[in-house]
C-alpha cells in the first residue's frame, strides 16, 4: 500500500471550516474515485489550525496515475476555492506503507 498525505495549515478557523466542508462534500470522494482506497482527516494538536488528509492507494503505480492524470485538476479546483491569499499553506508527502498493526 502507498500513502499520500496532504498537510494544510490555516490562517483562520473560518477558512479551515470552509475547507473541511469542501473536503467532506466532494473532494475526498473524487480522490477515492481516482484510485485511493481510503482517506482520513486528522486535526493536528498544535497552536495553529492544521489538518492532515491521509490517503491510501493500493500501490505506487495507482498513486502515480492519480498524481499524473487527476491531481492537477483537483488541486487547481482547490486553489481556485482557496487561493494563496486565503492563508492556506500546503505540504505533501508520499511513502510506501511497510507494515500496519495489528496485522490482518
Are the beta carbons of 87 and 13 closer than 8 angstroms? no
State the fold for domain 2-96: Alpha-Beta Plaits (3.30.70)
Q: Which residue has the cell 499553506?
A: 89
Structure confidence by residue, pLDDT tens digits, 40-57: 999 999 778 999 999 999
Q: Could you tell me which of 66, 77, 18, 9 has the C-alpha nearest to residue 43?
A: 9
Q: Tell how strand 89-96 and strand 2-10 pair up.
A: antiparallel
Tell me the per-residue pLDDT of 55-88, one tens digit each, with 9 for 90 and over: 999 999 999 999 999 999 999 999 999 998 999 9
Share of the chain above pLDDT 70, in %: 99
Q: Residues 12-21: what's their mean pLDDT?
A: 95
* Average pLDDT of the segment spanning 7-30: 95
Amino acid at each position: 500500500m502507498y500513502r499520500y498525505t496532504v498537510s494544510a495549515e490555516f490562517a483562520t478557523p473560518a477558512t479551515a471550516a470552509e475547507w473541511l466542508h469542501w473536503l467532506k462534500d466532494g473532494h475526498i470522494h473524487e480522490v477515492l474515485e481516482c484510485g485511493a482506497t481510503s482517506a482520513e482527516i486528522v486535526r493536528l494538536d498544535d497552536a495553529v489550525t492544521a489538518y492532515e488528509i491521509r490517503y491510501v492507494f493500493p500501490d505506487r503505480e495507482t498513486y502515480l496515475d492519480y498524481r499524473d492524470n487527476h491531481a492537477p485538476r483537483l488541486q487547481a479546483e482547490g486553489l481556485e476555492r482557496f487561493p494563496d491569499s486565503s492563508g492556506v499553506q500546503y505540504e505533501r508527502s508520499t511513502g510506501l506503507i511497510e507494515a500496519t498493526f495489528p496485522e490482518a
